[in-house]
Amino acid sequence: MSDPQITIYTPESLLANPRKMLGDMFRDLAAGRELAWRLTVRDISAQYRQAFLGILWAFILPLANTITWIFLSKSGIVNVASTSLPYPVYVFTGAMLWAIFMDALNAPMQQVIAARGMLAKLNFPREALIVSGIYQTLFNAVIKVALLLVAIVVMGINPGWNLILFPFGILSLVVVGTSLGLFITPLGMLYGDIGKAMPLLMQFLMYVTPVVFPMPKAGIAAKLFILNPITPLILTARDLLTGQAPQFLTYFIIVNVVMVLIFLVVWVIYRLAMPILIERMSS
Amino acid sequence: MSETLIKVEGVSKKFCRSLKKSLFYGVQDLGREVTGRRHGGNGELRADEFWALKDVSFELKRGECLGLIGHNGAGKTTLLRMLNGLIKPDSGRIEMRGRIGALIALGAGFNPILSGRENIYVNASVLGLTNKDIAAKIDEIIDFAEIREFIDMPVQSYSSGMQVRLGFAVASSFQPDILILDEVLAVGDFSFHAKCFKRIGSISRNSAVIFVSHDQSSVGRICDRTILIERGRCAYIGNTIDALRQYNNAYKATLSVKSTTVCHDDIVFTSILFNCGSRSITLQTSDALNLVIQLETKKSIPIGKCLVSFYSETTVNAGQADFTGQLDHLPEGFISLKLEIPRIQLAAGMYTMNIAIFHANGRDTVLHSISCTEIEVIGLSFLGSHYKIPVKVKLSNSLSRNIANIL
């Protein structure tokens, strides 16, 4: 017989008992481990079984982005300031890293929306959805990184020993993306506006991040670039990948520490929000 | 083995009529929750809100089965969702002990592209089974669902019946302490239905079961006690038979089928009288039902097919008493037809009764009485109705207004 585990539901906020809540959070995280893995396997195999181009989809978008920007800059339609790396390498690495960040950002809401039917009817550790989203982002990231490495070597860049640290760059993109994505999930579940506004905001964010443009030297743009917390993530990851000395290492570390703390807060909010969202979703 | 597994104390839940406001309240509730305040305020309703469930309390021990009946929208599912921890109560307290199994939403999380086998793993994980459990049970699950030859095909090529069988097989493959059943038995063909009942029976011996169904005969057979929910309020809790009776009374009150009788042109007068006198009759399953049809005919009419049929809320034709052949013609003049049904043999429930007598030519209606009475059958016999109900017809030429003389 299983242990007599007692579950109590009352109208009190779960925050009224923070210690118990934290315990429950990590217990559910552990309990949802296998489920998260199953969901990941399910989603990935279904995704590739139904797509003719299969794994190509993991990098078609950033590749198209890269080609567009190389064309824009080569033809002189857009005048891009000179970069320390050859521009194609700069754009390609930027676009790929940005795509990984976007994957991570979109994953929580996508997962929750896709699992709506299950959420409304079954009780399972809600954390499994987040974890499954992270797994899937990482899976796609690995494909992208493999392609990136090949491309970089082909283009004559020697990554050097810093490459060992590169996984941290990817991981921090995933952690930060997931935190932000999880932050907008509760409201995004209630109001469709959020889902619609996101691509718009993200496009703007991309242009104030050194993805296709190098860091501006002065002016309001330079301020925006440096205030944007994604900037050090992209720059550091790119530096580590292409064998350059990371310029914003301290900033990078600060952003990561802050974001891990934010992640914990957002996780709490997600947990608190779930019953409320489920009630409103199906009513 | 008789510890209390479910304790529900004064649980209430409010819902909102307007979607816009509902979403806004959702944001409000979210704000309250995050700032650590109580859910649902102090029990007051905000604009456009109503109590979907109010002050429901009960306890359930291991080995007991509680029925939950009520009309659509009465709040049954809301209660189940709170018990399952999907939504929070606005007031009250719910305590659940042990592992909860829910036979709701069979096959939730099935991905149509993946094979049955892959979906078993996913579905079972969602229900909280570990990989080890699943590996040990997968063959049993496949055999129970009777889909071994299709198990490696994508689920989208399954028939809906196969999907439900697979969902049931997975969901019922482990022994929970608390089992929640919501209308799941209305699925599958007859033989699978029987298997489901057997499986549920063996699970329920060792757990506390909450059973929601519109099928009165299943509720009556399975449940020790039953709660009747009406408009979110607990209208009755206790003995299953009494709960079903009260439910039927509520149904009767809402029933608005008008009784109409259509006659052949050569018939000038009809009336139908029952041994119980009123238009609404309450009977035990084994009781007799006698009725007299009085007619005045202008000339002799040859008779063909004759039927009394019973319709229930859920079954179109729950039972039929066929007296074709017992009557070859209606003579001219004042006549009485006495129909004697020695045992009504219907399962417990509410029925309306129709009488149809057709001309020997097979086309013309001689007499067709629709909803000539409502019959409530009560008692412990919840087994399915006998489709053929024995009936005897006696013809006499006297027209009497005094029913006691004939019946």
Q: Do B114 and A6 touch (CB under 8 A)?
A: no
A-chain residues near B26 (CB < 8 A): 190, 276-277, 279-280
**Cα separation of A32 and A39, whole Å?**
10
Each residue's pLDDT tens digit, A127-141: 999 999 999 999 999
Number of domains in chain B: 2
| Secondary-structure breakdown of chain B: helix, strand, coil percentages, each rounded to the nearest 5 | 30, 35, 35
Token pair in block for residue B65: 């089965």
- Inter-chain contact A46–B111, Cβ cutoff 8 Å? yes
Q: What was the pLDDT predicted at A131?
A: 95
Burial B329-357, CB ≥16 within 10 A → b, else e: ebeeeebbbbbbbeebbbbbbbbbbbbbb
Distances (CA, A) of A249 to A229, A232, A237, A243, B143: 12, 7, 10, 14, 59
A26-32: long-range contacts at Cβ-Cβ below 8 A with a sequence spacing of 24 or more? A28/A125, A28/A126, A28/A127, A29/A125, A29/A127, A29/A131, A31/A125, A31/B128, A32/A124, A32/A125, A32/A126, A32/A127, A32/A128, A32/A131
Where residue B147 sits, what CATH number does that domain have? 3.40.50.300
Q: Where are the alpha helices (DSSP H) in B127-181?
A: 131-145, 160-171
Which residues span the domain enclosing B75? 4-253
Provide the 10 A C-beta neighbour count for residue A235: 25
Distance CA B337, CA B339 (A): 6
Closest CA to B272 of B396, B153, B367, B342: B367
Task: Report yes or no: B327 and B303 within 8 Å, Cβ to Cβ.
Answer: yes
In a shared domain, residues B186 and B313: no
Q: Is the pLDDT of residue B184 over 70?
A: no
By mean pLDDT, which of A78-82, A198-202, B144-148, B176-180 is the weakest? A78-82
Q: Is A11 part of any domain? A: no
Q: Which of B219, B253, B287 is the last residue of a domain?
A: B253
More confident residue, A9 or B106: A9
Residue A145 lies in a domain: yes
- Domain extent at residue A38: 18-49+74-282
Q: pLDDT tier at B387 (50, 70, 90 boundaries)?
A: low
Of B37, B100, B105, the CB nearest to A121: B105
Q: What is the value of ipTM here, to two decimals?
A: 0.80
pLDDT score at A283: 42
Is B96 in the same domain as B221? yes
Give the pLDDT of residue A85: 84
Closest to A162 measured CA to CA, from A246, A93, A86? A246
Q: Which residue has the tokens 């592992």?
A: B99
Shortest CA distance to B396 belongs to which of B277, B256, B295, B266? Answer: B295
So what's the pLDDT on residue A1?
40
pLDDT tens sequence across A219-263: 888 889 989 999 999 999 999 998 888 888 999 999 999 999 999
Per CB-CB distance under 8 Å, the chain B contacts of A10 are 88-89, 92-94
Is A60 inside a domain boundary?
Answer: no
Last residue of a domain, one of B220, B253, B286: B253
Q: What is the pLDDT of residue B381?
A: 58
Q: At what angle do helices B116-126 and B160-171 cross, to 10 degrees?
A: 40
* B49-61/B100-103 β-pairing: unpaired
Q: What's the distance, CA A164 to chain centroid? A: 21
Q: Is residue A4 part of a domain?
A: no
Q: Give me the percent of chain A exceeding a pLDDT of 70.
A: 98
B146 and B284, same domain (yes or no)? no
- Percent pLDDT > 90 in chain B is 15
A97 has pLDDT over 90: yes
Average pLDDT over residues A70-95: 86
Q: Of B16, B38, B86, which is closest to A13 when you measure between CB atoms?
A: B38
Write the DSSP string, B116-128: HHHHHHHHHHHTT
In a shared domain, residues B239 and B272: no
| CATH number of the CATH domain containing B285 | 2.70.50.60
Cα–Cα dist B96/A4, whole Å: 9
Query: B93 CB near a chain A CB, below 8 Å?
Result: yes
Provide the residue type at A220 as one letter: I
Is residue A43 domain-resident? yes
Pairing, β B289-297 against β B319-322: unpaired
> Is residue A175 assigned to a domain?
yes
For chain A, the average pLDDT equals 88
Mean pLDDT of B108-114: 81
B9-60 pLDDT per residue, tens: 999 999 888 888 888 888 888 888 888 887 766 778 888 888 999 999 999 9
Looking at the fold, whether B244 and B336 belong to one and the same domain comes out as no
Chain B contacts in chain A segment 182-221 (CB below 8 A): 186-187, 190-191
Domain boundary among B194, B226, B253: B253
Q: Which of B30, B98, B114 sits opposite A273 (nearest CB)?
A: B30
pTM over 0.90: no
> Nearest to residue B309, comparing CAs of B346, B338, B274, B278?
B346
Does A57 fall in a domain?
A: no
- With beta carbons less than 8 A apart as the criterion, state whether A35 and A115 touch: no
Quick one: pLDDT band at residue B404, thresholds 50, 70, 90?
very low
- Contact, B94 vs B82, CB < 8 A? yes
Which pLDDT belongs to residue B385?
Answer: 53
Locate the chain B residue with the closest alpha carbon to A119: B86
Model confidence at B139: pLDDT above 90:
yes
Chain A CB within 8 Å of residue B238 CB: no
Measured CA to CA in angstroms, residue B330 lies from A5, A106, B393 at distances of: 73, 79, 12
Examine residue A251 and state whether it is found in any structural domain, yes or no. yes
Identify the pLDDT of residue B254.
Answer: 55
Q: Report the number of distinct structural domains present in chain A.
A: 1
- Number of cross-chain residue pairs from A and B with Cβ atoms under 8 Å apart: 156
Nearest CA in chain B to A117: B108
